[in-house]
Structure 1
């Protein structure tokens, strides 16, 4: 299958699973989603692919789903709950970096087949994680702030899309710029870094435009979950 088809599959699978996590486990399901999504996205982002004729990193769909999860938490449970989820995602990345760095420090046995592959993948993760952490915290706090600012002016359920689109459009721009600069500057050619920034932001915007209906589905379960 082509990368474009896999992108569609990844999008549907990601947001369907997010909704299921909320439907089955309520608020805690979204907390878990933010935690595991942040970890997986930081691993996925080490892989670059050609899609629609341009170079992009993986992880964009998952990062967009994390923004949607915090928007749902913010809308239903309030700003403090959304901020708690943001810090949970932050803590999850720190735990991953610390434990995987320790794992790489072990001398492999002669029969080991994983060390080189793990070093290739997770050797990049600390720098990527630092960029992700800084961009994530700043971007998510901006998202929560803008979401609440818009909510004071458009507070009905029917205008959830205005809050979600408005907050994510601005916060994703800042998030993506910071992450691209910290994670890839000096590792990849500048032209590639700029291309990654542009394509990543565009993919996040497109994903945001398409994922809000999943937010409405999740919100429809609010009365039936904790």
Structure 2
């Protein structure tokens, strides 16, 4: 069932990005980038098993949300240019770090016994040894590098393949390169800080690349759709 949930999450995520763009334009897409980065850095702490045609593979959650970020920045590159797309990356990094800082301070409070389960949940993710804190420290560095590469590659490919028909070339071309770099660097980084054990490293790199490539192919129709959408509100 995990693979079915993966497909469901991907389709819902891309649909929400499309609706956010339709209703709120550029600001809506940037807001969704912020949401996706925060959600992905929490989800990445959960390891799941996917069954691909009888083969079981271990992967981290968060790949779909990060895939949505690449879709969103490709849309911003397509419609508003490199500066806007890069700006969305900077805003999302600032928002993500800010979120973890305020949640870390929240973990310092002594909660009453009646809220013990919530206290433990906050501490599990946002204390000094929490998974989300480690994920942000590593993830934001890698995220900045891979997203900057994606934005750069998108514009380079667009300079040669700029028509609406070749949208899939610049979308998938930039994403496949940058997602590979992202998957390798972030997996090594997460193993270094103890988010998962080194014994899972190779499997997670392979499965992360595979899943992100599937996500990249799934998001292509949505990019074609959004390229034609006229937002209700935009600047």
**How far has the Cα of 1:136 moved from its partner?**
0.6
> CA–CA distance in 1 between the matches of 2:218 and 2:121?
35
Cα distance in 1 for residues equivalent to 2:65 and 2:229: 22
Change (3 A) 1:223 1:190: closer
Shift of 1:224: 5.9
Deviation, 1:121, is: 2.7
- Inter-partner Cα distance in structure 2 for 1:121 and 1:196: 21
TM-score normalised over the length of structure 1 = 0.95
Deviations 1:27-67 (A, max 9, x none): 11101110111101111111111111111111111100100
Shift of 1:85: 0.6
Match of 1:192 in 2: 200
Are residue 54 (structure 1) and residue 41 (structure 2) matched? no
TM alignment of 1:94-109, pairs within 5 A: 94-109=97-112
Q: Report the aligned-residue RMSD.
A: 1.4
Q: Residue 72 of structure 2 corresponds to which residue in structure 1?
A: 69
Find the aligned partners of 1:225 and 1:155 in 2 and give their Cα distance: 26
Say whether the 8 Å CA contact 2:36–2:65 is kept in structure 1: yes
1:155 aligns to what SS in structure 2?
Answer: coil
Q: Distance in 1 between matches of 2:4 and 2:199?
A: 27
Partner of 1:133: 140
Match of 2:169 in 1: 162
Structure 1: any 5+ residue segments left out of the alignment?
none
Q: CA deviation at 1:25?
A: 0.7
1:178 aligns with 2:194: no
Deviation for aligned residue 1:112: 2.3
User: Which secondary structure does the structure 1 equivalent of 2:160 belong to?
Assistant: coil
Q: After the TM superposition, which residues 35-50 of structure 1 pair with which residues of structure 2 at under 5 Å, given as runs?
A: 35-50=34-49
Pick the aligned partner of 2:225 from 212, 217, 226: 217
d(CA) in 2 for partners of 1:63, 1:166: 17
Matched residues in 2 for 1:12 and 1:208: separation?
A: 12
CA distance in 2, matches of 1:106, 1:51: 38
Distance across 2 between alignment mates of 1:9 and 1:216 = 20
C-alpha change, 1:225 and 1:151, in structure 2 (3 Å) is farther
Match of residue 203, structure 1, among 208, 211, 233: 211
Distance 1:108 1:214 in 2: 44
Give distance in 2, aligned partners of 1:224 and 1:108: 44
Following the alignment from structure 2 to structure 1, what is the Cα–Cα distance between the partners of residues 31 and 191?
28
1:91 is the counterpart of 2:94: yes
Alignment equivalent of 1:121, drawn from 119, 125, 132: 125
Cα deviation, 1:92-137, whole Å, max 9, x if unaligned, reads 1111110111011112223322111222233111111111101110
